[in-house]
Chains A and B, each alone.
Chain A
Amino acid sequence: MRRARRKGLRFAIALCAAGLAGAVPAARGDTDLSQFVLSGELESGGKTITGDWGSSEFREYRDQQPGYFGRSALLLEEPKSRFFLGFDYDYVGRQDQRYEGRVGQWGRWNIDLAFDEYPYSYGNNARSLYLSQGSDTLVLPAAVQTQLQSLTGAARATALGTALDAATFRELDAMYRTGRADVRIQLSPELEAKVGYFLQNRNGDRPFGMAFGSPGGNFADYVGGIDDRTQNLTAGLSYVRDTWSLAFDTFGSFYHDGFDDFTVANPLRAVDSPTAGAESGRVSRAPDNRAYALSLTGSWKLPVPAPTRVSSTVSFGQHTQDEKFLQQTINQAILAANGPALALPKDSLGGQVDTWLGTFLLTSRPLRDLDLRLRYRYYGYDNRTDTTELTANVVNDATFDSEVLFTAPNSYRTQNLSADATYRLLAPLSATLGYAYEQWNRSDERERIYTRSQTGKAALDWKPVDRVQLRAHYAVSGRTGSDYRPYAPLDQRLEPTEVPDAIRVGQLADLRKYDEADLWRNEAGVLGQLLITEGLDATLTFDFQNDSYDASRYGLKSWQQWSLGGDLGYHPCERVGITAGYTFERNVAEQLQRLRNVQTVGGVSSAIDDPLNDWGSQWRMRAHDVHAGLDVVLLPKWLDARVGYGFQLSHDQTRTNGQNGGPFLVPLDYPTDDDKLQYVTAALDFHATESLTLRAAWRWEHFDITDFRHDGTQPFMPLSNDNSQTGAVSPTSNVFLGDSIEDYNVHIVGLSAIYRF
């Protein structure tokens, strides 16, 4: 131990010396620095970018800028003691920079530290008038506010539109910054300990919406801040012997949001009204919360003639949340008139969810060619939060509602039981037959107390030689459950006397939510990997899944998905490598709905449930992904070249039809959404010496998107409430951000030098 410590000290001193001296190795490959070995590479260079690269999509998750770039992946080792120190970095000074450092002794212990950041871009052409007043209050500029307050009705809306048209573009970017620290110590060949820490900060802006009218209509989108932090801590200890093992793991997670709420000025109302709306609205942000879990895992090879192993995991966790509640509303006029009714029964939720996990797995080989597997899994999400009774509420800070509401903490538990048997029919051929049972139990708030799925599955695996295999599987499953109670959420959330009224305007009784509905699923998959000739191999995949919700008269009726993929690798000689691949995916989902307007007869409101108002919808999506690459050694030991091409196309369309020629306007198909990404890369590597490579690289990227949901939106859209029944357009006061994702077309040219140690 003392010897190891001395070596560690010498290692550190040598590392400093090497750094100070700027040791320059003489030959490619591991570089000997006295008793230390330095390996890895450094790349440094510059690049230029031309073309149209203002799109936020070009900047998503990366920060491509003209100028210097550099990266490294270095490892310094002391072979005898096996101490090592590694350091990697990418894109220094950019918003997608990454640094990783690690130190340790191979096979004994290691400490890894990492920092990483990247931008997440929602768009960069949003227009908003709002100014932040403090961090969480958004107000209109004083001049705009003064002007709007002096106007009413249509004149006010027109003025708002004019002001928004002149608003400057806003960035909708957030920076994700993550830090990690992981320590692992192999205390003995059997005993390992590990500790980890993960930190994620998110800062920036993103689009949010604030509803001012109710229900639906009259909302304002705005640029709201993101400032949150997630910290996760893990620690574990595992002990492994020949016939048994034991592992103990802990997990803790802490989430903090810098924003408790957003208060946003209503651009079309200057003063609070008890009935007509508020001068501003307030929305809550994600509450701070915590979670932890303790897990114990054990495995044991049973002392029986047939090789048999059992393993089990038991885990208990908790999610808690106790952030102080906001007031029911910030509409002072409503508060003044209804203050006592809007008093909160408690200051915070005191939310607590207990999670339980229990697994049991038995694997056995009773016969030489027969493998058995029996698996059971229990997962419980037990929401122990007390139900909260709220004697009144305010809809969108605009409308006081004296209806008593009860919260409905949602709990569930899932149980999975499966049994599989694999028999080796021939030396390279195995067949598997299996059965799986899944049960969900949900709390009373959901429509079904339980659902049960039964699955039969079969698989064939043929693997005669290395790099050649054929795998196929097929599974069929059926899901049924307890009586479907479409009004269960109302029963839980309302007083019993209120339920009949709510039912009359509630869910269509025959609609089934697809996650609880009866389901008949067929799925199949094939994977083939073939070594056609030496140097030429191919991979083919096919997957199919068909979900039929035949028992659902309304709602999602079916969802069919299939895909086909192929990859080819060809190395005709040592100097040439060719890769190519293509993947296609298609989805078709069909649903049936009913338009249900409200009629009021004798003061009683109810839905008009007329089958003539049924309408159907079919969503179709297909995607193609092509890629190809060529690597060539032009001059052995001197010159390499690489070229690559990629193309991705997604095509998305929703078709809608009136089923029975109902009284409303024929629903229209939605325009097609397409997004297309193409790239071409080319790089030339000139190996000036064994250690030094000069690289010239070119890259072309083209992104093209058609998204009807965003392409046509303007910051202010007073005529966005067109009626599919009458064709009439109702005036609204909707404020959008008017943002859309833009196309880009760029060329990136880079020159760099790579030094390999």
Chain B
Amino acid sequence: MQLHGLLDALPLWALFVATFAIAWLSFEGGFLIGKRRSRKSEREREVVGGGLVEGMMGLAAFMLAFTFGAAATHFDARRQAVLDEAKAIRTAYMRADLLPEPYRAEIRNLLREYVDVRLESVRSGKIEEAIARSEELQNRLWLQATTSSEKASNPAFAEQFIQPLNEIIALHTRHVIVGLEFRIPNIIWIVLYVITALASASIGYHSGLTGSRRPLVAMAVILAFSTVIFLIEDLDRPKGGFLKISNRALADLQMKMNAQIR
């Protein structure tokens, strides 16, 4: 997990510059080697043109595309987690009506605080604290629910509340795990970088061999690769970057809850 810490600590633009620099240096290195080889061997350039470089570029492009797909899936899972959570909290909040006082009021206060904690953590970025506080609130909610179920006039009503509460607790775990653990693994990052560097080096090698240096085209290829890696990194980050998870569902819920008190 150290690599994730390192990657997350760097700002995104610095990662982009680093990726671009790695690819560009590989290209230049390949170019120098190719140029030196071209004096000795004339026919090699036909071989290199005959599929080797294309094959490598193709594989690198595919690997990037599929990793992009995986990162986008994880991003969607995080977004879904927020939506599902808001839905479960809303249901529990409404069903608290079925419980007798004083549990009803107490549970509603706890749920209100639960939503506040979540939205507050997004603003302040103190995730660990918010997780601990949420779990404490869950314990208190559960205690309220079980005691109220003994006193409820009809246990079926209590069960109606317990069900969404179980869901809230399960969705919290999902949210935490999806946010912190469903990332692109380190080893895939390493392989992606090595493949990109090797592919850029072979483009450089090829143009060194043929002696035709087209920096503009090479620049375009390298820029495209670095941009895609940048996008994958952005999608993969749980917080921040240009692609943020919207908390609109939770904010709406907060507004509705607060409107009801007044």
- The answer to whether A and B belong to the same complex is no
B interface residues (Cβ-Cβ under 8 A, vs A): none
A interface residues (Cβ-Cβ under 8 A, vs B): none
